[in-house]
Structure 1
Amino acid sequence: MTGRSDVPRWIALPALVGLALLALPLAGLVLRVEWGDFLGLVTSESSRAALGLSLRTAAVSTVLCLLLGVPLSLSLARSSGHWSSVVRAVVLVPLVLPPVVGGIALLATFGRRGWLGQHLEAFGVEIAFTTVAVVLAQTFVSLPFLVITLEGALRAADPGYADVAATLGAAPGRVLGRVTLPLVAPGLVAGTVLSFARALGEFGATVTFAGSLQGVTRALPTEIYLQREVDPDAAAALAFLLVAVAVVVIAVVHRPGRSPW
């Protein structure tokens, strides 16, 4: 585990402790699941409704992340001025905020009494505590994952190919679609998958901004939280289902032999 000459042997002990701290709770969850009733627990009406809503909203929020995050990543990667540092800081804020704070911020903006939501309501548009609110909350927390991943890939890519294409007369849009994006495709795929996974697992911002109405705003993490009080076995089974999705995501992003970053 520590065969390199610049890694002292004693490093292995705290490394193993850190690994155990991460792995043991996952093992505990696996041991907690009632495997004999697993299918019944994860296919109940409320579980299926929550899982279906989570998959649909996470897919929509991932599309939004692509539509908004790719241009934002390009702007940040191709800029070095003071404004880009400010924008990057804004992009990173959702990564360090407690999700419930993000939900309160969304509610203060798009809620019925929010500074923007009250004007939208005058036109009959309500966002808070609707399915749209779930999508916005998921996009708010997952967009930074796509932006920072793709920006890093763009900065690492060789700009010479794009310069040659432009010299040969290719329009900027053609250079972007035929040269730049294919060069950073691994980073784009990694950011997209991570954004989807983050959206699928979002809880705090969603429950604060969208509430918990079955079939409308009750996503899978919220269902797990509610089941924890009334049916711990169902909560453990659904939690394992989310962990399994996370493992699949990690397997896709971190394939052996290459780094998506």
Structure 2
Amino acid sequence: MEPWWAFSPEEWTAVRLSLLVASVATLASLPFGLLVAWLLARVRFPGKTVLNGIVHLPLVLPPVVTGYLLLILFGRRGPLGAFFESWFGLVFSFRWTGAALASAIMGFPLMVRAMRLSLEAVDRKLEDAGATLGASPAFVFLTVTLPLVAPGILAGMILAFAKAMGEFGATITFVSNIPGQTQTLPAAIYTLTQVPGGDGAALRLTALSVALSMGALIASEWLATRLGRRVAAA
């Protein structure tokens, strides 16, 4: 008899898929998150309030609604889904790529908020000093702004990753719950709670999910503090 903490191959598959989905979701949304955070923090333009509302909409919408909207837009018959399949051969619906897309959208507001707060906290005099020395805006951003906001970027990435690891509602609505293909860690836990004798496996995966989430939050805090000290000492 195997101990209760021994994971089955199917459970490890769900864990690996969750890590893949969360990693792809975080990295793919990073440049867009930084761009949107910059626009909201530094640029005045008509419709800024609307953009801010759209960015944070996934936080207040029921996840099932977000998943259904993704199915309409990115399904094979949806306008965006048909476009990506025709031009790039990329299919989202009922694929792990769709799980990554749903997770990225659900974690995007957390990423943008952390980056925006970090950008707003930067002392603009430091950037102005670089500009007065003849540096281009791009050079100032790369050498002055980016190091200063690195803790916020890191915190946003970790929060988005943790959110992606725990995403369930939008994902299961958009890509279903297919073992080995779209069954992430939360979906596997849900499935195990619905079958007789699945409590032990559900407990194992729940414990792992809690450990991963806590580890991500602790790592985010530690790295952000470390980077913050380096920036302050520079």
TM-score normalised to structure 1 length: 0.79
Find the counterpart in structure 2 of residue 245 from structure 1.
212
Does the 8 Å contact 1:65/1:195 carry over to 2?
no
The offset of 1:170, in angstroms, is 1.4
Moved more, 149-158 or 74-83: 74-83
Aligned to 2:194: 229
Task: Give the CA deviation at 1:81.
Answer: 3.7
Quick one: which amino acid aligns to residue 91 of structure 1? V
Cα distance in 2 between the residues matched to 1:38 and 1:193: 30
Three-state SS of the structure 1 residue aligned to 2:47 is helix
Tell me, in whole angstroms, the C-alpha distance in 2 between the residues paired with 1:205 and 1:185: 30
Given that residues 92 and 144 in structure 1 are in contact (C-alpha distance below 8 angstroms), is that contact kept between their aligned partners in structure 2? yes
- The match for 1:4 is none
* Alpha-carbon distance in structure 1 between the residues aligned to 2:47 and 2:64: 28
Q: CA deviation at 1:119?
A: 4.8
**Are residues 1:115 and 2:82 paired?**
no
For the pair 1:215 / 2:185, whether they are aligned, the reply is: no
Q: Cα–Cα, structure 1 residues 257 and 176, in superposed 2: closer, same or farther, change >3 Å?
A: closer
Q: Kindly state the Cα deviation for residue 209 of structure 1 after the two structures are TM-superposed.
A: 0.6
- Unmatched tracts of structure 1, length 5 or more: 1-35
Structure 1 residue 76 and structure 2 residue 43: aligned?
A: no
Cα distance change of structure 1 residues 122 and 68 upon mapping to structure 2, 3 Å threshold: closer
Q: Deviations over 1:64-105 (max 9, x none)?
A: 121211111111111234421111110010111111111001
Mapped pair 1:186 → 2:158:
no
Q: Which whole-Å CA distance do the structure 2 matches of 1:134 and 1:152 have between them?
A: 28
* Distance in 2 between residues matched to 1:121 and 1:190, nearest whole Å: 33
User: Between Structure 1 and Structure 2, whose CA radius of gyration is higher?
Assistant: 1
Aligned length: 224
CA apart distance, 1:117 = 2.5
Q: After the TM superposition, which residues 57-136 of structure 1 pair with which residues of structure 2 at under 5 Å, given as runs?
A: 57-120=21-84, 125-136=90-101
The C-alpha deviation readout for 1:119-153, integer Å capped at 9, x for no partner, is 55556653211111011011110111110110011
- In structure 1, the partner of 2:5 is 39
Where does the alignment leave 5 or more consecutive residues of structure 2 unmatched?
A: 229-234
Kindly, what percent of the aligned residue pairs are identical? 39
Partner Cα distance (1:50, 1:146) in 2: 24
Could you tell me how far apart the structure 2 residues matched to 1:257 and 1:194 are? 12
Equivalent in the alignment of 1:200: 165
